[in-house]
Each structure stands twice: as structure tokens, then as C-alpha cells.
Amino acid sequence: MFYTRKCGEIEPSDFGSEQTLCGWLQDTRNLGGIAFIQLRDITGVIQLTLLKKKLGEEKFKSWTNINRESIVLVRGIIKENKEAPGDVEMLPDNLELLNEAETPLPLGVIDKIDSEIETRLNARYMDLRKKDIAANFQIRAAISGAVHKHLRREKFLEVQTPKIIASATEGGTSLFEMKYFDRTAYLAQSPQLYKQILMGGGLERVYEVGPAFRSEEHNTPRHLNEFISIDIEMSFADDDVVMGVMERLVDTVARAVAKETKTLETLGIKPIELELPLPRITYDEAVEMANGKVEWGEDLSMEATRVIAEEMNGFYFITKWPLSLKPFYIQPDEDPKYSKGFDFMYNEVEMTSGGQRVHNVDLLRKRLKEQGLDPEGFNHYLDPFRYGMPPHAGWGLGLDRLTMIFSGAKNIRECVLFPRDRNRLTP
């Protein structure tokens, strides 16, 4: 029997009863006539108290010599012990070794010495056994669940778009090229073009949570080459409307994470609280705030956003970006020098870009040419715009980066099970 009670689920009502537990043997402290074993599963740790007089010399020796991180099944009586973790202990009368771990371990689980992140990622299966690392993924799961629930509540339809595509999504060269039978194809850097095609299909409100790929040679704590993107597209909406969707979604996420009290306690952080509506500043105001760190018409550098963040502090939007800095599908503003594009920020970190899209096919062809792209290569994308494309808007938000913010992680690779950066293809 392997489906047993969980270590963290034992309650005072269980005192005096016999229970069966399975898990990892985390540590053993042998004091001669008595020994204490820490048994761990995903819910927590429970103390096993071994008495040599009760068990006999042979069992006592055998059980206390099992290697750390071995898998064991134990059966015994649950007792209250104010000096034990969680005020609970088990007095086992049976211990079965299910799978003994080799020694030495590739990575310590409860050791105080921190290992380099590359060492940890190489032995990710061990790294995930640490409660603070596992906590990141509890936060991630809470965020993902809240995202789906919220967007469905706002009447968005979940969709899945292709990740093998025929042409660049946003222009540029930041795509992974691949052989697709006798043709060249690419891994999608976003579902952008397909989201817009769906607006032409009359679906009106769609969202997708799925992988995206960018071949940029980043080497920062905030970037990965494979990531999970939360994307929405919405018909009969402008940039202001979808910014509203964004701030309501992030507020829902913040509330969901705040309910993960034990996880937040493990991470040693407090929940993030939002007050809606979130602040909005224009690009011009951002340039002024940057105090000479950036010239008008340039993208905002990290140095510039750090200065801006000192004043903004938290989540905020930067609106009315210069049209020259935005992709071809972003709608020009009434003043054609500007766009109806925005960035969503958390302090100095860019969380997402979005905006109202061009829905006029002639303007779209013009914008493609302005960015050095051949409209003929985008016919599959342009065709829906010829037959009644509604005004629409949307955005894409990285789930990994969102998890990084709400978990307090300093490196985005802490928030992805098996991250893919410019140097890592395994595990």
C-alpha cells in the first residue's frame, strides 16, 4: 500500500492512532539509545522517534544507517511532542526501505551551504526537494490557476495556436530556424499573428497560455529562450480597454497568491497588494523622469527604468510610445508620431507589451514596408484583414516573469522547472 497519509496532514485527532507514511528520509540524528529521523514529503516533515530498547539492536542499527534521501514507508503510533517539528512525532514499529539513495548526494537538500545555480539545475531533481524551491512552483501553480479562472470569468475563450510557423511574427531575426520537411520554418516567438486572425474569425475574445521561443543571446536573470506566455486578444477594444483587463488580472493573481500563506511564509515574503486603477504615465513623462538616462525616441534602458521605478514603485503602465519603437501591427495614435502601444512594468522590470492593433489592411501593408518587411510574405496573415477585421487590441505576459515577481525570486530560472537559456539544453 503506497497511498498513505501525508506528513503535513497529521492532526491532533490522530494522536494515539496508528498511521502509515511514505517519503524521503531527510536526516538522522543518532544519540545512542534514541534516534530521531526526519521524514519528508511534499506537505512537510514529521519526526520519527526510534527507541533502541523497544526496537532491538538490529532494527535500531539498520534503520539509523539508511542513507539520506532514501525512500521509506513507516508505520507507527502518532503522539504529541511539543519539542518535535509541528508538535507531532511517530513511534514507528515498522520501517520498509523502498529505494535507497546512493551516497554522496549530488546536491544537499537541507545543507546550509548554498550551491551555484548551474550545479542546482544540473541536479534539478534534488533541487526541487528543497522546500523554498518547491514553494516557487506552488506560487506558479496558484498564478496559473488564477489566470485561467479570471480570463474565463471575463468571457475569454481559451485557444491554442501553432508553434511551428512560416514567417517571423514581429520582424527581426530573433527566431529559432528549423527544417520543416523540405522548407524552412521557425519556432513562434508569440501567437500574435494568429490571435489577430482569430479576431477576423469572429471569436472576439481569446486567450492562450503556451510556450514561446526567442533566439536572443541574453545572459540576464530575467530572460529565457523558451518561456510560457499568457496572451489575450479582444475585438472592439482599444489599448485602454486591454490595460483594464491586465490590471484586473494581476489583481486577481495577487489575491490568489496572498491565500498561499504557508508558501509565502516558507519564502519569507509578504503578499503584494494592488490598488486599482494602476498608475499610467506616458513615454514622454517616463523620459522626463529618467533624468537624462535616455533620449527621446530611444527604448528605455535598464538604467533609465531604475530611475523611473524610484518614483513609480510597483506595477504601472507606460503609454503612448513612439510609433518607431513598436511592431508593425501596433495602431498609430491620433498624433502619428506616437502609438497606441503600452508597456506594463513592475518597478524597473518590463512585464509585457501590448496595445491596439492596426485593423486596416492598407495601413498594415504600409507599416510592414516601413519596417523592412515584405507584405507578400504575410499574405496568410493579411487576408483576414481584407474581409472585415474589427478593431482589436491585446497583450502578452510572461508567466515565468510574473512568478518571479510574486515569489520574490532573484533569477527567473528559479521559477521554471527545466529552464532553457543560451547555454542549457539539459536536463
Chain segment 58-90, per-residue pLDDT in tens: 999 999 999 999 999 999 999 999 988 889 999
Verify whether residue 350 is a known catalytic residue. Answer: yes
The pLDDT score that the predictor gives to residue 170 is 60
- CA 275, distance to chain mean position in Å, is 23
pLDDT of the residue at 143: 98
- Kindly report the average pLDDT of the chain as a whole number: 94
| Residue 363 pLDDT exceeds 80 | yes
Average pLDDT score over residue span 266-278: 96
In the predicted model, is pLDDT for residue 169 greater than 80? no
Q: Is the pLDDT at 10 greater than 70, yes or no?
A: yes
Catalytic entry in 190, 229, 353, 407: 353
Which one of 154, 216, 285, 298 is the catalytic residue? 216
User: Does pLDDT of 183 surpass 80?
Assistant: yes
> Which residue out of 150, 223, 359, 365 is catalytically annotated?
223
Per residue in 286-344, pLDDT (tens digit) is 999 998 899 999 999 999 999 999 999 999 999 999 999 999 999 999 999 999 999 99
Q: Which pLDDT belongs to residue 218?
A: 81
State residue 86's pLDDT score.
85
Q: Which of 129, 401, 407, 413 is the catalytic position?
A: 401
Section 127-143 average pLDDT: 96
From the candidates 222, 255, 280, 420, give the one annotated as an active-site residue: 222
Residues in the chain: 427
User: Mind giving me the DSSP string for 379-425?
Assistant: HHHHGGGGG-PPPEEEEEEEHHHHHHHHHT-SSGGGGSSS---TT--
Q: What's the average model confidence in pLDDT over 91-117?
A: 92
The pLDDT assigned to 4 comes to: 80
Is 129 part of the annotated catalytic residue set? no
Q: Is the peptide bond before 327 cis (omega within 30 degrees of 0)?
A: no
Q: What is the pLDDT of residue 168?
A: 65
What local confidence, expressed as pLDDT, does residue 69 receive? Answer: 98
Q: What is the pLDDT of residue 315?
A: 97
Q: What percent of the chain has pLDDT over 70?
A: 98
User: Which residue in the list 140, 205, 214, 357 is annotated as catalytic?
Assistant: 214
Domains in the chain with CATH codes: 7-99 (2.40.50.140), 126-415 (3.30.930.10)
Is residue 216 among the annotated active site residues?
Answer: yes
Average pLDDT over residues 107-133: 91
Residue 167 has pLDDT above 80, yes or no: no
pLDDT at 318: 98
pLDDT value of position 111: 83
- Using DSSP bridges, classify how beta strands 280-282 and 315-319 pair: parallel, antiparallel or unpaired: parallel
CA 212 to CA 338: how far, in whole Å? 28
- The pTM of the full predicted model, rounded to 2 decimals, is 0.92
Contacting residues for 115 by C-beta, under 8 A, at least 6 apart: 107, 108
Query: Phi first, then psi: what are they for 262, rounded to 5°?
Result: -65, -40
